[in-house]
């Protein structure tokens, strides 16, 4: 996972490293696919403006000049059952889908470090947004992303912790709570307002 | 100059024992940042705030910069503290012969992973799951079932059990092995309970 703000430095420099690591995966390991995941050194998130840019440019470039198959990992700042978490995952799903990514792998909500803070609902959003994005004009995609990231990028330091799986689902029936369904609908409505057609 | 044979992981192992010596600090703090900065300037890379690129010339410059970084620097082996170098022909041989598609899962639940393009109309594969997040032993199965029950999800990427039979899966202990085997069994069970026994994991 290339780190923005790490040893390589800024956006362009980290993307150069990301391209090199894609190429290395097939030289060193004869890999079937490369699992990417540019992450922000300060926020531990893959959904920031900088890391999305790195992922978008790296994947589009690899898609354009090679046949390498590429995936991306999802680490939003916010936890499950929050609109911010779903919007963060959506921004990455839009970026990945539009840039030619083959596999979307996630979502490790709450940066993937808090026990039991992931559920199937975040993956549903990742999938629904990918379906809505596939085939969209790239200039339109960039416009939506600019507004979408603007909705949450001031809140990394105070990202909502969200709820555990046990609080988000009826564990016996494996069904999301009414509260989470409403939160999901709220996030979906915001995405529709930005121009995404489900 | 052509290569003697296609490069593989055994060649990597051999070269990792004889490559140029380098400290990890020198690699991390000098070689990587200096080369990244040099290549950004050499190729005039500027993404101009775009998330997904529309400038094909700039993408080509980026590709050449990434290729040059791998060719010039190679890969650092943290076990042997040596650098593994590839020739230009070896890198192109790998690029020209990548696997263009493969299958994840079995039977009616199998999905085909195949190349997509920028702006492709085809939906990517959705690999749903905790992606390495810590998951309690008592809800490990239902957490993964919550993904398998979603029709948008094609395959599962698993979480990590925080305990097995109530004990932490300490690396190097038998519980680590038991946890790994239990994770796989429970995820397969979760997929089967969701009516998708052949889902790729």
| Domains contained in chain A, number | 1
CATH number at residue A146: 3.20.20.460
- Rounded Cα distance between B6 and B15, Å, is 14
Same domain, B109 and B81: no
> B111 and B176: one domain?
yes
Residues B114 and B185 in one domain: yes
How far off is chain B from A163, nearest CA to CA, in Å? 13
Q: Residue A47's pLDDT is what?
A: 97
pLDDT at B152: 98
- In angstroms, the CA A72 to CA A104 distance is 5
In this structure, is residue B198 part of a structural domain?
no
Burial A174-194 (b: 16+ CB within 10 A, else e): bebeeebeebbeebbebbeeb
CB atoms B129 and A123 under 8 Å: yes
pTM of structure: 0.97
* Cβ distance of A174 and B142 shorter than 8 Å: yes
Total tally of structural domains belonging to chain B: 2
Residue A123 has its nearest CB partner, among B62, B116, B153, at B153
Residue B4's pLDDT is: 86
- Domain co-membership, B108 together with B138: yes
Residues in chain A closer than 8 A to B150 (CB atoms): 120, 123-124, 127
Q: What is the pLDDT of residue A8?
A: 95
Question: Mapping DSSP to helix (H, G, I), strand (E, B) and coil, where does residue A71 land?
Answer: strand
The whole domain housing B29 covers 9-96
CB-CB contact of B135 with A164 (8 Å)? no
Model confidence over A141-197: pLDDT tens digits?
A: 999 999 999 999 999 999 999 999 999 999 999 999 999 999 999 999 999 999 999
* pLDDT tens sequence across A75-96: 999 999 999 999 999 999 999 9
- Local structure of residue B161 (DSSP, 8 states): E
One domain for residues B107 and B77: no
pLDDT tens figures, B42-88: 999 999 999 999 999 999 999 999 999 999 999 999 999 999 999 99
Residue B91 lies in a domain: yes
Q: What is the ipTM of this complex?
A: 0.97
In a shared domain, residues B51 and B112:
no
Please determine, for residue B1, whether its predicted confidence score (pLDDT) is greater than 90: no
Residue B1: inside a domain, yes or no?
A: no
Give A54's pLDDT tier (boundaries 50, 70, 90).
very high
Q: Is the pLDDT of residue B30 over 90?
A: yes
Of all residues in chain B, the one with the smallest CA distance to A63 is B117
Mean pLDDT of A110-114: 97
Co-location of B43 and B91 in the same domain: yes
What pLDDT score does A109 carry? Answer: 97
Cross-chain residue pair A20–B69, CB shorter than 8 Å: yes
Condensed to tens digits (0 to 9), the pLDDT of residues B136-190 reads 999 999 999 999 999 999 999 999 999 999 999 999 999 999 999 999 999 999 9
Domain containing A12: what range? Answer: 3-194
Q: Is the peptide bond before A107 cis (omega within 30 degrees of 0)?
A: yes
Residue B121 resides in a domain: yes
Residues B115 and B169 in one domain: yes
- Which of B44, B62, B96 marks a domain boundary? B96
Write down the H helix ranges in chain B: 9-18, 24-26, 32-43, 56-73, 88-96, 140-148, 174-193
Domain boundary among B35, B61, B96: B96
Q: What is the pLDDT of residue B3?
A: 85
Which of A27, A61, A117 has its CB closest to that of B59?
Answer: A61
With cut-offs at 50, 70 and 90, classify the pLDDT of residue A44. Answer: very high
For chain B, helix (H) and strand (E) counts, in that order, are 7, 9
What pLDDT, in 10s, does the model give residues A123-156? 999 999 999 999 999 999 999 999 999 999 999 9
| For residues B102-121, average pLDDT | 98
Tell me the sheet residues that pair with B111.
B104
CA–CA distance, B201 with A139 (Å, rounded to integer)? 35
Final residue of a domain: which of B96, B116, B133? B96
Average model confidence (pLDDT) for chain A?
A: 98
- Identify the closest residue of chain A to B59 by CA–CA distance: A61
- For tokens 């912790």, what's the residue? A161
Euclidean distance between CA atoms B109 and A128, whole angstroms: 19
Is residue B92 located within the same domain as residue B110? no
Tell me how far apart the alpha carbons of residues B121 and B99 are, in angstroms, rounded to a whole number: 21
């Amino acid at each position: 996972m290339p780190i923005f703000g790490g040893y390589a430095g800024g956006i362009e420099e980290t993307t150069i490293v990301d391209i090199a690591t894609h190429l290395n995966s097939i030289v060193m390991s004869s890999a079937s696919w490369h699992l990417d995941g540019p992450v922000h050194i300060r926020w531990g998130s893959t959904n920031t403006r900088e890391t999305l840019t790195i992922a978008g440019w790296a994947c589009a470039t690899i898609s354009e000049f090679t046949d390498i198959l590429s995936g991306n990992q999802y680490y939003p700042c916010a936890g499950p059952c929050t609109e911010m978490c779903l919007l963060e995952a959506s921004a990455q799903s839009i970026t990945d889908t539009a840039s030619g990514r083959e596999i979307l792998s996630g979502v490790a909500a709450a940066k993937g470090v808090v026990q039991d803070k992931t559920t199937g609902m975040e993956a549903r959003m990742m999938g629904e947004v990918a379906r809505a994005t596939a085939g969209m004009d790239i200039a339109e995609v960039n416009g939506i992303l600019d507004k979408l990231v603007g909705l949450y990028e001031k809140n990394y330091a105070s990202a909502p912790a969200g709820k555990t799986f046990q609080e988000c689902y009826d564990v016996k029936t494996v069904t999301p709570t009414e509260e989470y369904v409403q939160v999901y609908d709220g996030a979906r409505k915001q995405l529709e307002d930005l121009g995404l057609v489900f | 100059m052509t290569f003697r044979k296609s490069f593989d992981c055994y060649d990597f192992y051999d070269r990792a024992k004889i490559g140029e010596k380098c400290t990890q600090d020198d690699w991390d703090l000098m070689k990587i940042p200096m080369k990244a900065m040099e290549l950004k300037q050499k190729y005039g890379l500027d993404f101009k705030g775009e998330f997904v690129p529309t400038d094909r010339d700039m993408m080509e410059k980026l590709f050449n910069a990434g290729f040059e970084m791998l060719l010039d620097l190679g890969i650092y082996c943290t076990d042997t503290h040596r650098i593994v170098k590839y020739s230009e022909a070896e890198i192109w041989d790998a690029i020209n012969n990548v696997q263009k598609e493969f299958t994840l899962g079995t039977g009616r639940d199998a999905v085909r992973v195949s190349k997509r393009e920028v702006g492709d109309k085809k939906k990517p594969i959705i690999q749903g799951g905790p992606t390495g997040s810590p998951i309690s032993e008592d809800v490990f199965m239902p957490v993964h079932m919550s993904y398998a029950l979603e029709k948008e999800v094609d395959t599962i990427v698993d979480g990590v059990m925080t305990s097995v039979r109530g004990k932490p899966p300490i690396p190097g202990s038998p519980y680590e092995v038991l946890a790994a085997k239990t994770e796989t069994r429970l995820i397969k069970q979760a997929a089967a309970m969701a009516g998708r026994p052949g889902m790729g994991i």
